[in-house]
Structure 1
Protein backbone atom coordinates (compact mmCIF):
# COMPACT_ATOMS: atom_id res chain seq x y z
CA UNK A 1 0.00 0.00 0.00
CA UNK A 2 1.41 3.38 -0.95
CA UNK A 3 1.45 6.35 1.38
CA UNK A 4 -1.53 8.69 0.84
CA UNK A 5 0.64 11.81 1.26
CA UNK A 6 3.61 12.58 -0.98
CA UNK A 7 6.07 15.40 -0.36
CA UNK A 8 7.63 15.86 -3.79
CA UNK A 9 11.20 16.87 -4.68
CA UNK A 10 12.39 20.37 -3.93
CA UNK A 11 11.36 23.01 -6.48
CA UNK A 12 14.13 25.04 -8.18
CA UNK A 13 13.01 28.10 -6.20
CA UNK A 14 12.67 26.19 -2.92
CA UNK A 15 9.71 24.58 -1.24
CA UNK A 16 8.04 21.28 -2.01
CA UNK A 17 4.69 20.36 -3.51
CA UNK A 18 2.46 18.07 -1.46
CA UNK A 19 -0.18 15.73 -2.84
CA UNK A 20 -2.80 13.92 -0.81
CA UNK A 21 -4.39 10.94 -2.55
CA UNK A 22 -2.87 12.15 -5.84
CA UNK A 23 -4.47 15.63 -5.55
CA UNK A 24 -2.27 18.72 -5.22
CA UNK A 25 -2.69 20.04 -1.69
CA UNK A 26 -0.17 22.89 -1.67
CA UNK A 27 3.41 24.12 -1.58
CA UNK A 28 5.31 24.00 1.70
CA UNK A 29 8.57 25.56 2.87
CA UNK A 30 9.12 23.84 6.22
CA UNK A 31 7.72 21.20 8.56
CA UNK A 32 5.37 23.75 10.15
CA UNK A 33 3.78 24.39 6.74
CA UNK A 34 3.37 20.64 6.26
CA UNK A 35 1.74 20.17 9.66
CA UNK A 36 -0.62 23.08 8.99
CA UNK A 37 -1.54 21.69 5.56
CA UNK A 38 -2.21 18.22 6.97
CA UNK A 39 -4.37 19.62 9.77
CA UNK A 40 -6.38 21.58 7.21
CA UNK A 41 -6.89 18.26 5.40
CA UNK A 42 -8.28 16.71 8.59
CA UNK A 43 -5.17 14.96 9.91
CA UNK A 44 -5.09 16.45 13.39
CA UNK A 45 -2.22 14.28 14.68
CA UNK A 46 -0.06 15.52 11.80
CA UNK A 47 3.20 16.04 13.70
CA UNK A 48 3.29 12.32 14.49
CA UNK A 49 2.88 11.37 10.81
CA UNK A 50 5.93 13.18 9.42
CA UNK A 51 8.32 10.23 9.73
CA UNK A 52 5.76 7.45 9.30
CA UNK A 53 6.16 5.87 5.83
CA UNK A 54 2.61 4.52 6.03
CA UNK A 55 1.41 8.14 5.92
CA UNK A 56 4.07 10.17 4.09
CA UNK A 57 6.46 9.42 1.25
CA UNK A 58 9.31 11.91 0.92
CA UNK A 59 10.08 11.76 -2.81
CA UNK A 60 13.14 13.00 -4.68
CA UNK A 61 14.81 14.97 -1.86
CA UNK A 62 15.72 14.11 1.73
CA UNK A 63 12.97 14.35 4.33
CA UNK A 64 12.61 17.70 6.08
CA UNK A 65 14.73 19.53 3.46
CA UNK A 66 13.05 22.44 1.69
CA UNK A 67 15.81 24.64 0.25
CA UNK A 68 16.30 24.91 -3.51
CA UNK A 69 18.39 22.18 -5.08
Structure 2
Protein backbone atom coordinates (compact mmCIF):
# COMPACT_ATOMS: atom_id res chain seq x y z
CA UNK A 1 0.00 0.00 0.00
CA UNK A 2 1.32 3.44 -0.89
CA UNK A 3 1.42 6.30 1.64
CA UNK A 4 -1.83 8.24 2.08
CA UNK A 5 -0.18 11.66 2.53
CA UNK A 6 2.11 13.29 -0.03
CA UNK A 7 4.34 16.27 0.74
CA UNK A 8 5.49 17.50 -2.68
CA UNK A 9 8.65 19.12 -3.97
CA UNK A 10 9.57 22.57 -2.74
CA UNK A 11 7.80 25.27 -4.76
CA UNK A 12 9.22 28.59 -5.91
CA UNK A 13 7.47 30.30 -2.99
CA UNK A 14 9.18 28.05 -0.43
CA UNK A 15 6.11 25.94 0.29
CA UNK A 16 5.28 22.32 -0.36
CA UNK A 17 1.88 21.08 -1.53
CA UNK A 18 0.29 18.60 0.87
CA UNK A 19 -2.25 16.12 -0.49
CA UNK A 20 -4.04 13.07 0.79
CA UNK A 21 -5.21 10.00 -1.12
CA UNK A 22 -8.66 8.80 -0.18
CA UNK A 23 -11.19 6.66 -2.01
CA UNK A 24 -9.02 6.43 -5.10
CA UNK A 25 -8.74 10.22 -5.41
CA UNK A 26 -6.11 12.75 -4.39
CA UNK A 27 -7.24 15.82 -2.45
CA UNK A 28 -4.98 18.86 -2.02
CA UNK A 29 -5.02 20.03 1.60
CA UNK A 30 -2.91 23.15 1.10
CA UNK A 31 0.59 24.58 0.86
CA UNK A 32 2.78 23.99 3.91
CA UNK A 33 5.73 26.19 4.84
CA UNK A 34 6.79 24.08 7.84
CA UNK A 35 5.95 20.89 9.71
CA UNK A 36 3.40 22.72 11.86
CA UNK A 37 1.40 23.50 8.71
CA UNK A 38 1.45 19.83 7.63
CA UNK A 39 0.29 18.73 11.08
CA UNK A 40 -2.55 21.28 11.05
CA UNK A 41 -3.73 20.16 7.57
CA UNK A 42 -3.81 16.54 8.75
CA UNK A 43 -5.59 17.47 11.96
CA UNK A 44 -8.26 19.29 9.95
CA UNK A 45 -8.54 16.20 7.72
CA UNK A 46 -9.56 14.22 10.79
CA UNK A 47 -6.38 12.73 12.28
CA UNK A 48 -6.27 13.17 16.05
CA UNK A 49 -2.47 13.10 16.55
CA UNK A 50 -0.79 13.46 13.14
CA UNK A 51 2.63 14.67 14.39
CA UNK A 52 4.18 11.20 14.86
CA UNK A 53 3.00 10.14 11.39
CA UNK A 54 5.33 12.59 9.61
CA UNK A 55 8.28 10.22 10.02
CA UNK A 56 6.31 7.09 9.11
CA UNK A 57 6.92 6.26 5.42
CA UNK A 58 3.85 4.03 5.38
CA UNK A 59 1.76 7.20 5.98
CA UNK A 60 3.73 10.08 4.43
CA UNK A 61 5.69 10.27 1.18
CA UNK A 62 8.13 13.18 1.13
CA UNK A 63 9.01 14.19 -2.44
CA UNK A 64 11.96 16.31 -3.46
CA UNK A 65 13.97 17.63 -0.54
CA UNK A 66 14.56 15.61 2.58
CA UNK A 67 11.72 15.33 5.10
CA UNK A 68 11.24 18.39 7.28
CA UNK A 69 13.45 20.55 5.02
CA UNK A 70 11.94 23.88 4.04
CA UNK A 71 13.16 26.97 2.20
CA UNK A 72 14.90 29.65 4.21
CA UNK A 73 12.72 32.69 4.73
**TM-score, with length taken from structure 1:** 0.92
Query: What 5-or-longer segments of structure 2 have no aligned partner?
Result: none
Runs of 4+ in 1 over 3 A off after TM superposition: none
Which digits, 9 at most, give the CA deviation of each residue in 1:14-60, with x for residues without a partner? 01001101211100000111111100000111011010011100011
Q: Which residue of 2 aligns with 1:3?
A: 3
Output the CA distance in 1 between the equivalents of 2:65 and 2:9: 5
When Rg is computed on C-alpha atoms for both structures, the one with the higher figure is 2
Aligned CA RMSD, in angstroms, stands at: 1.1
Per chain length, whose mean CA-contact separation is higher, i.e. which structure has more relative contact order (CA < 8 Å, sep 6+)? Answer: 1
Output the CA distance in 2 between the equivalents of 1:11 and 1:66: 10
Output the CA distance in 1 between the equivalents of 2:42 and 2:70: 17
Query: What 5-or-longer segments of structure 1 have no aligned partner?
Result: none
In the alignment of these two chains, the number of paired residues is: 68
